[in-house]
Copies of this chain bind each other. A is one copy, B any other.
C-alpha cells in the first residue's frame, strides 16, 4: 500500500500554475467589450456634501454609467448596517467613495471621475479614540442606534444615540480589586498600536455582469464567495440562486477580502445599469491605502498582578479600538481579542473592557490575527515586566502559568489539547534560550519570547462534496479559496488519502457559488479544520457508497473489502484488485458518478458568551497556541537594530503538509515583523500621509531574520487527523517578542508600535537621562 499522504510535504497542487504564470487571478479576468470603472474618493475626513454635480462627467465620450449615493441609497454591514455604498449626504472618512463611473476604457472613466464636481462643508471630526467617547465629541453618526442590525448570538451590539461608542466588550471573572490588593507585585502600562495596511499583492478587483434575465455573475477576488453572494443577492433583491460568484486564485487576502467591502457592491450596481456588458472595477494601490480597511489601531491600559512565586493573580485591561466610521466585523474582533488578551494563562481574576469607538479615521477591518497582535503586544510585554519585577526568567514565568489540559480557562471553559507549553519550549530551544551573545562594539544582543492564544470563528459551517468520476478520479467541490495558504493542496491530500488514490487523481477545480457548496469563509485559520473535516467526511461517504456497490457486485460482505492503491480487494484474495471504474461500470452498467457529502458546523458545541461577564463554556471550537522567540542586535548609539533570529513554534494539531505549515508560520511571522518594526499608516486628523509603498514600508528579503520554524503537534480531538489552523499564530507574537528582546538587550521599554530605530534611540536617550538624574 502507498504510504499515507497525511503528514507528507507533497508539492503544492497550485505550484506549477503559479510558477509558470498560468494560474489565473481575479485581476486576470477580462471580457471583450468590458467596461472599466473608477471611483472618486472624497479626500476630507468628515463633511457634509453640499453639491455633487456629475453632469459634465455624464456628457463625456465613452461614459456609460455614473453613480452617486443618490442612485443607490443603500446601507450594509455584517452586524450594523451603517455603511453606504457611496456616501449619502455626509462623508465620514477621507477615503470614502462619493461616486463611481463605468466607461469604455480606463482613460474615459478617469476623465469622468476628474470631471465630477463636489463641494463639501467640512465638519469637526472625531480622530482620537478616547476623546471620541467624551460627551462633547463630534458625532460620527447622528444616531447609530437607528441602523438595522443583524443579531449575532452571544454578541450584544447596541450603539446608543448621541455617542460614538459602537460596542463595549466586558469580561468579569473573580475579584480583581481584591487580587490586586493582596498581590506581591502589580504592574501597569499603556501600549498602543498603529493603523497598518493588508498590502496584499493583488488589489481588490471584481468583474460583474448582469444578463437580461437578471442573472448576476461576479468574478471576485474574495475569501468569502458565499457570503458575498448572499449579500449581493440582498443588495439586488434577488434570490441567491440568481447570483453567481466565481473566484479564481486570490493574490493574498489576510482578512481584507471578506463580505461586500467597498468595491464589490459598486461593481455589481454599475453592471446592473450596463446590461449585458461586464464591468471591471479594480482598486489601485492608492485606493487600497486610503479606502480599504486597516488593522484597528488600539490603546491598551493594562495592569497585571502576581505573587512572588510567579503565580499570576489578576489582570485588568482596557483597550480602546479605533473603528473608523463603520462597524463591519468590529464587535467580533473586540470580543474575540478581548478574551484572548488574557493570554494562554491560568488567571483566576480578570476584568476586561473593550471599547469599540466610531471615529473619522480610516475604517478598521478583520486582519490576520483578528485583534490578537494588538492585545498580545500589550499583554506579553507586561508578562516580561512582571518577570523582571519578580526576577524570574520570562520563559519560566510563562511556563509556570501556562494553561494545561483540564484547566478552566478565563471564560469558564475546561480546556483540552492545550499546547502552549510545548510551543514555548520549542521556540525557546530553537533560539538557544538562556544563552546570550556578548556585546560587539556598540551592538548589544537580547532575546525575548511571547506566546498567544487565539480563537477561531464559532459557530460557522463548511459543506463540501467529492465526486468520484467514471474512471475513479475525483473532483472536489469546495468553496474554500486558495489565497496562498495551500488550502487546495491540503484538501486534496485528505480526499486522496481517504480514497487511497494518488494525489494527481484528485482535483480542486472551481470555486463558484452556483455549484460549490456553502463555506463560511477562508478566514480565521478555519479551512483545514472545517473544510478538512467536511471533505474527509465527503470522501468517506464516497468510500462507503463505493464499498456498498462493490459488496453487491462482488457478492461479499462489505466488511471483507479493503481499499488498496486505488483498488478494492477482498480480504485474503489480494490477487484480485478491482479498479473503482470497474465497480462503477458493473454496478451501473454505464459510466457513473458517486457524490459524497460532508459538513462541519460548530453550532452544536458553541456556547454563546454571556455579554455581561464574557463567560462561555465553549466560545471557540478550538484554540490556536503559538510562541515566538526573537533575538535582536541593537546599535546602542543609533537605536538601529535588526531581528537576527526569529523562532516560531505553532501547534498544528497534526501537520497534514509540514512544508505548507512552515510556509504559513513563516509568512505570518514576516507580517508580524512588519507590524513590529516598520509598518504604520500615518495620519493627521483623519488625513493619511503615506499612501504609497515609497513611504509605507513592509519587510523585504533584506530584512529577514534567520527563521527557525517549529511545528508542534498536539492533536485536537475534533480536527481531521487532529489538525487545526495555524495561519495566524505567528503574526500575533512577533511584536511582543521583539519588544521583550529589545528590553533584554538594552533595558528599555518601548510602548508604541512600530518599533522604529528612532523610537529605540529616543528610549535609550530617555533612559540615559533618567539614569543621569
Q: Specify the chain B residue showing the minimal Cβ separation from A212.
A: B20
Chain B residues with CB under 8 A of A241: 469, 473-475, 505-507
Q: Which residues of A from 584 to 614 have beta carbons under 8 Å from B?
A: 587-593, 595, 597, 601-603, 606
Given contacts A233-B471, A515-B516, contact A591 B227 (CB under 8 A): yes
A141 CB within 8 Å of chain B = no
Chain B contacts for A115, CB-based, 8 A: none
CB distance from A459 to the nearest CB of B (A): 4
With an 8 A cutoff between CB atoms, is A17 at the interface?
Answer: yes
**With a CB–CB cut-off of 8 A, which chain B residues contact A603?**
587-590
**Using an 8 Å CB-CB cutoff, how does the interface string of A429-467 with B read, 1 for contact, 0 for none?**
000000000000000000000000000000111010101
Chain B residues contacting A514 (CB-CB under 8 Å) are 475, 507, 509-510
Per-residue B-contact encoding for A508-542, CB less than 8 Å = 1, 0 else: 01101011111010000000000000000000000
Q: Does A575 count as interface, using CB distance less than 8 angstroms?
A: no
Q: Are A17 and B239 in contact (CB under 8 A)?
A: no
Q: How far is the CA of A256 from the CA of B504 in the complex (A)?
A: 33
**Considering the chains assembled together, what is the distance between the CA atoms of A510 and B509 in angstroms?**
14
Most buried by B among A17, A211, A591: A591
Nearest CB to that of A519 among chain B residues?
B593
Chain B nearest CB: distance from A423 CB in Å? Answer: 30
Q: How many copies does the complex hold?
A: 2
Query: With A17-B213, A241-B475, A469-B518 given, is the CB distance from A463 to B593 under 8 Å?
Result: yes
Q: Is A689 on the interface with B (CB-CB < 8 A)?
A: no
CB of B22 within 8 A of CB of A588, answer no
The reply to whether A592 and B463 contact each other, CB–CB distance below 8 Å, is yes
Q: What separation, in Å, do the CA atoms of A239 and B496 have in the docked complex?
A: 13
- Tell which of B211, B226, B516, B597 touches A591, judged by Cβ atoms closer than 8 Å: B226
A242 near B: Cβ within 8 Å? yes
> Known interface pairs A242-B473, A244-B509, A515-B475. Does A230 touch B591 (Cβ–Cβ under 8 Å)?
yes
User: Interface centre among A241, A470, A473, A507, by most B CB within 10 Å?
Assistant: A241
CA distance A241 to B476 in the complex (A): 9
CA distance A534 to B725 in the complex (A): 38
- CB-contact partner of A509 in B22, B463, B515, B590, under 8 A: B515
B239 touches A471 (CB 8 A): yes
A153 within 8 A of B: yes
Query: In angstroms, how far is the closest chain B Cβ from the Cβ of A708?
Result: 33
Q: In the complex, are the beta carbons of B592 and A601 less than 8 A apart? A: yes
A506 cross-chain contacts in B, Cβ below 8 A:
241
- Chain B residues whose CB sits within 8 angstroms of the CB of A16 once the complex forms: 212-213
A276 within 8 A of B: yes
- Within the complex, what minimum Cβ distance (angstroms) separates A151 from chain B? 10
> Does any Cβ of B come within 8 Å of A670's Cβ?
no
1/0 per residue A222-240: CB within 8 Å of B? 0000110010010000011
Q: Distance in Å from the Cβ of A77 to the closest Cβ of chain B?
A: 16
Q: What are the residues of chain B within 8 A of A592 when measuring CB–CB?
A: 461, 463, 518, 601
Residue of B nearest to A458 (CB): B589
A30 at the interface (CB under 8 A from B): yes
* Residues of B with C-beta under 8 A to A469: 230, 239-241, 518
Q: Does A205 interact with chain B (Cβ within 8 Å)?
A: no
A756 CA to B5 CA, complexed, in Å? 69
- Kindly report which residue of chain B lies nearest to residue A17, judged by CB atoms: B213
Q: A517 and B32: CB pair below 8 A?
A: no
Q: Which residue of B lies closest to A209 (CB)?
A: B22
Which A13-36 residues sit within 8 Å CB-CB of chain B?
16-17, 20, 22, 30, 32
> When A16-B213, A213-B17, A509-B515 are in contact, do A589 and B461 touch as well, CB less than 8 Å?
yes
Nearest CB in chain B: distance from A225 CB, A: 12
A226 CB to closest chain B CB, in angstroms?
7
Q: How far is the CA of A72 from the CA of B592 in the complex (A)?
A: 29
Which among B22, B244, B459 is the interface contact of A589 at CB below 8 angstroms?
A: B459
> How large, as a class, is the contact surface on chain A?
35 or more
Q: Which of B230, B276, B593 contacts A470 (CB 8 A)?
A: B230
Q: Choose one: B17, B244, B515; the contact of A515 (CB below 8 Å).
A: B515
> Which chain B residue shows the least CB distance to A474?
B241
Tell me if A477 counts as interface (CB < 8 A to partner B).
yes
> Which chain B residues border A471 with CB–CB below 8 Å?
230, 233, 239-240
Q: A477 CA to B471 CA in the complex, in Å?
A: 20
Instruction: Tell me if A601 and B597 are in contact (CB < 8 A).
Output: no
- CA distance in complex: A211, B509 (Å): 13
Shortest CB-to-CB span from A97 to chain B, Å, is 27
Residue of B nearest to A606 (CB): B589
Please give the distance in Å from A588's CB to the nearest CB on chain B.
Answer: 5
From residue A400, how far is it (CB to closest CB) to chain B in Å?
37
Give the chain B neighbours of A588 by CB distance below 8 A: 459, 461, 601, 603
Closest to A20 in B: B212
**Closest chain B CB from A227 CB (angstroms):** 7
List residues of chain B with CB within 8 A of the CB of A587. 603
> Contacts A520-B590, A592-B518, A603-B590 given: A17-B509 contact, CB under 8 Å?
no
Whether the Cβ atoms of A517 and B212 lie closer than 8 Å is no
Chain B residue with minimal CB distance to A596? B597
Tell me, in angstroms, the Cα distance from A591 to B153 when the chains sit together: 14
Residue of B with least CB distance to A14: B213
Complex CA distance for A514 and B474, rounded to whole angstroms: 9
**A470 and B471 alpha carbons, distance in the complex (Å):** 33
Q: Determine the chain B residues whose CB is within 8 A of the CB of A244 once the complex forms.
A: 509
Q: Are B239 and A463 in contact (CB under 8 A)?
A: no
Report the bound CA distance from A520 to B506 in whole Å: 22
Q: A492-507: contact bitstring with B at CB < 8 Å (1 yes, 0 no)?
A: 0000000000001111
Please tell me if the beta carbons of B460 and A17 are within 8 angstroms of each other in the complex.
no
State A241–B475 Cα separation when bound (angstroms).
Answer: 6
State whether B467 touches A517 (Cβ < 8 A). yes
Neighbouring B residues of A240 by C-beta, 8 Å: 469-471, 473
A518 close to B475 (CB less than 8 A): no
Contacts of A215 in B (CB 8 A): 507
A471 to B234, CA, bound (A): 10
Query: Could you list 13 further interchain pairs (A-B, Cβ under 8 angstroms) beyond the known A461-B591, A463-B592?
Result: A30-B32, A226-B470, A230-B471, A239-B471, A239-B507, A241-B473, A465-B595, A469-B518, A510-B512, A510-B515, A520-B591, A588-B601, A590-B601
* 5 A/B residue pairs, CB under 8 Å, sorted by A: A22-B212, A233-B471, A240-B471, A510-B514, A517-B595
